[in-house]
Amino acid sequence: MTLELQGVSRLVGGRVHIHPTDLTLKNGTMNVLLGPTLAGKTTLMRLMAGLDKPSAGRILWEGKDVTGVKVQDRKVAMVYQQFINYPGLTVYENIASPLRLMGRPAAEIDKAVRQTAEMLRLTPMLQRKPLELSGGQQQRCALARALVKGAGLVLLDEPLANLDYKLREELRIEIPRIFEASGAIFVYATTEPEEALLLGGNTATLWEGRVTQFGPTPQVYRMPTDATTARVFSDPPMNFVACRKEAGRLTFGDSTHAPAPQGLLSLPDGSYMAGFRANHVTLNRHSGDAVEFRCTIGATEITGSETFLHLDHGPDRWVGLVHGVHPMSAGTACSVYLDPAHVYLFDNSGRLAAPAPYAMAA
């Protein structure tokens, strides 16, 4: 099974919601749509499902053009952020409901319901009503109802967003297992880079209706093709500062110098934009080549074992994520450090000129 989008775009009221997109999703793959709110994730899923028709382009399923085929005539299942179950029916009947609508024999329905319930660890809850379940169990029930149809394409639109942290962690671990057991094409939309990394598979990064990159998740994370992709696939978004490479040396913004690491020495001299992730900022110098930046604290957010530092560095606004509790007051001057091995360089058009040397070694 293969789902292929060929030049698919979507306009609503004259506004572009999805720019022309080419994308091929293969049988048995987990595919994450990663992007901020309003990036186009739900719109792209609705086009894949057949809930909306593209303004241009074609959608192929197993080589057959299904662009105008209605969703009920496709082998598609979709689970939304606002998971929906029938409150008056038992878990068993909720899962069985799509098969009953399809007129399947009772024995076939029973077998499919019990197999799907076992896969989703719902067997002990089959005779309960949805409101007697936890939030995670209710979401698994909604997912079971989607999977029981044997759909070749399963679309999950931010399915964990409304659950508490513990339940989200539980289902994040279970979904890859469920995906492997079903053998379908999974498409999972999320705003969270961490979730994409946990799910693995492939990731498509979206920004303002454009797919900026698609490929194996670790590769997209470590080797973003442009600054937009790097910003999307970083939480908090990647930090940037003007940079110049000259004679084996990097000069950052305010004339802060550092030797260019081995992976960047072959790059032509010139002006670039340096990018680095928040977790690579430190409050102590951990290597002899680390660059020191003098900054001012804008705000701090303590999350328990970590602290987000909102930093003002001249015209630049950065965020650092450091270990430990650091209750610094706004306006406090501080030094932060960055190992040049964690620096990505982008050209003036925003395209990746050189990945961070650490990413090349990973």
Q: What pLDDT does 135 receive?
A: 81
Q: What pLDDT does 352 receive?
A: 97
Written as tens digits, the pLDDT of the chain (362 aa) is: 799 999 999 999 989 999 999 999 998 899 999 999 999 999 999 999 999 999 999 999 989 999 988 887 888 888 887 778 899 999 999 999 989 988 999 999 999 999 889 888 899 999 999 999 988 788 889 888 888 887 889 999 988 777 777 777 777 777 777 777 777 899 999 999 999 998 889 999 999 999 999 999 999 999 999 999 999 999 999 999 999 999 889 999 877 888 999 888 889 999 999 999 999 999 998 877 899 999 999 999 998 889 999 999 989 999 999 999 998 999 999 999 999 999 999 999 999 999 999 888 76
| Cβ neighbours for 203, distance < 8 A, ≥ 6 positions apart | 31, 32, 33, 34, 196, 214, 215, 216, 217, 220, 221, 233
Exposed, middle or buried, 73 (CB in 10 Å: 0-12/13-18/19+)?
Answer: exposed
Task: Compute CA 241 distance to the chain's CA centroid, rounded to the nearest angstrom.
Answer: 25
DSSP secondary structure string, 179-216?
A: HHHH-SEEEEEES-HHHHHHH-SEEEEEETTEEEEEEE
Report d(CA 191, CA 81) in Å as an integer: 12
Which pairing describes strands 64-65 and 15-26: parallel, antiparallel, or unpaired?
A: unpaired
Exposed, middle or buried, 267 (CB in 10 Å: 0-12/13-18/19+)?
Answer: middle
Residues 250 and 264 sit within 8 Å (Cβ to Cβ): yes
Q: What pLDDT does 43 receive?
A: 96
Count the neighbouring beta carbons within 10 Å of the beta carbon of residue 270: 13
Q: Which pTM does this prediction carry?
A: 0.89
Element (H, E) at 78: strand 76-79
Question: Which structural domains are found in the chain, ordered by start?
Answer: 2-228 (3.40.50.300), 237-361 (2.40.50.140)
Give which of 232, 174, 173 is closest to 204, Cα–Cα: 232
What secondary structure, in 3-state letters, does 221-278 show? HHCCCEHHHHHHCCCCCCEEEEEEEECCEEEECCCEEEECCHHHCCCCCEEEEEEECH
Residues 184 and 29 sit within 8 Å (Cβ to Cβ): no
Q: What pLDDT does 362 receive?
A: 63
Report d(CA 231, CA 195) in Å as an integer: 16
Give which of 197, 202, 134 is closest to 170, Cα–Cα: 134
